Amino acid sequence: MAPLLGSLYLARHLVGLPFAPYDAFDWITRRLPGPVVTRGIDAMVAVIRALELGETSGAAKTAEKLLAVGGVLVFGGVIGAALFGFLRRVGSRWGVGAGGVAGALVGLPLAWLGVRHPGAVSPIAGAIGVFGSFAAWGALVGWTYGRLSAPTEGAAPLAAERMDRRRFIVRLGSASAVITVVGAGIGSFLAMRRERSELRGRDAPWSERNPLPNEGASVAPVPGTRPELTPLADHYRIDIDTRPPELDAATWRLRVGGLVERPLSLSLAELRERYEPRHQFVTLACISNPIGGDLIGTTRWTGLRLAELLADARPAPSATHVRMRAADGFHEVVALDEVRADPRILLAYAWDGLPLTAEHGFPLRVYLPGRYGMKQPKWIERIELIDHWEPGYWVERGWDREARMKPTSVIDTVGASMMVIAPSRSMVVPIGGIAHAGARGISRVEVRVDGGPWQEAKLRAPLSELTWVLWRFDWRFEAGEHVFAVRCFDGDGVAQVAEPGPVRPDGATGLHSERLML
Ligand SMILES: Nc1nc2c(c(=O)[nH]1)N[C@H]1C(S)=C(S)[C@@H](COP(=O)(O)O)O[C@H]1N2
Ligand SMILES: [Mo]
């Protein structure tokens, strides 16, 4: 099974053959009950953070892929063992035939799943490729049984036969190892090369050519604070499949239908040309982001106002909700009144001045102010007006209906190496980080040292009312071990919830703190 997967992985990156383990994994996770999936994700995020395996969303995608491959390896082992058991009863001359049938039975559903998630190769070629390679794998396993079972049945094996068998096992093992390593190695190399050439082919992002709107802000970020505008390559990514859908700009259309007088079908170019482009700096966060976690990022979104597009479709008087459907089967619903009342709701096609990448929703995604990412589909294909509310993808799986972002604040750095001597001659250590409360803004950030009084931090003018705020607190240094904590208040003066609470169902609560020996 390992050499088969190595070869399939190579074929995926060479000619775009479907990669069966990912197809199977995505199919299964869609069908698991919500609590099971959610618990799985929680466990994965906990392990990634405990073992410090790096940036959470990237590590999680890698973990999903490893689970997918590991699952198929185990499954292949079980099928192989069952086949050997069967052949022990019926005799080795049935090896190739029975193995081929077993492999074909495994290959058939996998070929079907592969066709449903098309790669570069045509669906028929993909299906034949997957089906054929699994059938061949089964036949090979069956043939192996024949080579391994004693040729002189009934009698004790001769010394020469034992030698022969040992040599066969060594050769089989080395051939398997070589094919697996070469397939996986060249496949990864091709994948990496493609990723790099895609990045090189792109123009420079907007932020490299323009000053940020708060350039002259009087409060400077403490060195060591995360970048105010997240570099595109570092923005977290969360979605339901192991791979993003790859949509073709030439054939993609946004269809607007349902309870409308004038259904629309628009290409990306039409969306760009017919509607005034709007630019907004936005902080997006995942509802699964733990306190102090990295599933949050800020960039400049460009797109059209959803309200303007809907006005052109002329919603019927009975329409109350807007349903958005995405290419990966993800869907969400927002109230029509909310869309009409909030001009900041966008259908975005660019991030930081560049077309959305495949990972981040090319060609079109929605932005809903103040909501966690789970309410905001990427890869939108259809917008339908309907006359009722219905649960979206994650709401169906037990997450909150509203998913409104909660006030949250994080200590990014305690700049002990940046100690400065203040005019008062005492030593000062700058502490810095972010605070965010959806679209409500931040009115105040406070820092507490060792359970002392809460003290007000300085706020840097943010990129927009929709982004996080960078804060800094200049602390009078005292040597020793200290615990620093931070809390924030949203634009309405509502305090961040201090009581620790889980991410499910409506977002984490609790305060971020750092314990340091200085
Ligand atoms: N079509 C689609 N849209 C989606 C998702 C998805 O799985 N499929 N995930 C959502 C979630 S849970 C989040 S947090 C954001 C993440 O957006 P990003 O990956 O661009 O950071 O996308 C949202 N939109
Ligand atoms: Mo999310």
Give the DSSP per-residue string, 229-280.
Answer: S--GGGS----SSSS-----TTT--EEEEESBSS-EEE-HHHHHHHS--EEE
- How far is CA 199 from each of CA 186, 348, 358, 392, 494, rounded to the nearest angstrom? 20, 20, 12, 33, 42
Report whether residue 367 contacts ligand 1, using a CB cutoff of 6 Å. Answer: no
| Confidence at residue 415, expressed as pLDDT on a 0 to 100 scale | 85
Average of per-residue pLDDT values in the chain: 94
Evaluate if residue 424 carries a pLDDT over 80: no
Given pLDDT bands bounded at 50, 70 and 90, which one contains residue 156?
A: confident
What counts of helices (H) and strands (E) characterise the chain?
11, 19
Q: What is the pLDDT of residues 445-477, one digit of tens each?
A: 999 999 999 999 999 999 999 999 999 999 999
Given pLDDT bands bounded at 50, 70 and 90, which one contains residue 150?
A: low
CB atoms inside a 10 Å sphere around CB 386: 16
Distance 287 CA to ligand 2 centre (A): 5
Ligand 1 atom closest to residue 239's alpha carbon, by position in its atom list: 7
Q: What is the pLDDT of residues 260-284, one digit of tens each?
A: 999 999 999 999 999 999 999 999 9
| Confidence at residue 201, expressed as pLDDT on a 0 to 100 scale | 81
> What proportion of the chain, given as a percentage, has pLDDT over 70?
98
Q: What is the pLDDT of residues 294-313, one digit of tens each?
A: 999 999 999 999 999 999 99
Give helix 123-148 / helix 2-15 axis angle, nearest 10°: 160
Ligand 1 atom closest to residue 377's alpha carbon, by position in its atom list: 3
| Confidence at residue 154, expressed as pLDDT on a 0 to 100 scale | 60
Return residues with CB closer than 5 A to ligand 2 (ion): 238, 286, 373-374
CA atoms within 13 A on the CB side of 62: 10
Range with lowest mean pLDDT among 136-145, 184-193, 197-206, 465-474: 197-206
| Confidence at residue 381, expressed as pLDDT on a 0 to 100 scale | 97
Ligand 1 atom closest to residue 238's alpha carbon, by position in its atom list: 19
Taking the mean position of all CA atoms in its chain, how far away is CA 405?
A: 19
> What SS3 class is residue 1?
coil
Evaluate if residue 159 carries a pLDDT over 60: yes
Given pLDDT bands bounded at 50, 70 and 90, which one contains residue 86?
A: very high
Range with lowest mean pLDDT among 10-14, 121-125, 433-437: 121-125
- The CA distance from 206 to 360, in Å, is 17
Report whether residue 360 contacts ligand 1, using a CB cutoff of 6 Å. Answer: yes
| Confidence at residue 3, expressed as pLDDT on a 0 to 100 scale | 97
Evaluate if residue 155 carries a pLDDT over 90: no
34 vs 379, more confident:
379
Residues 6+ apart with CB under 8 A from 62: none
Evaluate if residue 511 carries a pLDDT over 70: yes
Mutate which of 61, 243, 286, 352 for ligand 1? The one with the most ligand atoms within 8 Å of its CB, which is 286
Which residue's CA is minimally distant from atom 4 of ligand 1?
A: 377
Report whether residue 282 contacts ligand 1, using a CB cutoff of 6 Å. Answer: no
Evaluate if residue 66 carries a pLDDT over 70: yes
Given pLDDT bands bounded at 50, 70 and 90, which one contains residue 420?
A: confident
Evaluate if residue 55 carries a pLDDT over 70: yes
Evaluate if residue 441 carries a pLDDT over 80: yes
Evaluate if residue 153 carries a pLDDT over 60: no
| Confidence at residue 90, expressed as pLDDT on a 0 to 100 scale | 93
| Confidence at residue 406, expressed as pLDDT on a 0 to 100 scale | 98
Which residue's CA is minimally distant from atom 5 of ligand 1?
A: 239
Which residue's CA is minimally distant from atom 13 of ligand 1?
A: 373
Calculate mean pLDDT across residues 355-364.
96
- How far is CA 22 from each of CA 43, 53, 391, rounded to the nearest angstrom? 20, 22, 27
Given pLDDT bands bounded at 50, 70 and 90, which one contains residue 175?
A: very high
Given pLDDT bands bounded at 50, 70 and 90, which one contains residue 325?
A: very high
Ligand approaching nearest to the C-alpha of 239:
1
Report whether residue 235 contacts ligand 1, using a CB cutoff of 6 Å. Answer: yes
Evaluate if residue 142 carries a pLDDT over 70: yes
Evaluate if residue 421 carries a pLDDT over 70: yes
Distance 309 CA to ligand 1 centre (A): 22
Distance 393 CA to ligand 2 centre (A): 11
Torsion angle (degrees, nearest 10) of CA 439, 443, 449, 452: -130
Distance 257 CA to ligand 2 centre (A): 27
Report whether residue 286 contacts ligand 1, using a CB cutoff of 6 Å. Answer: yes
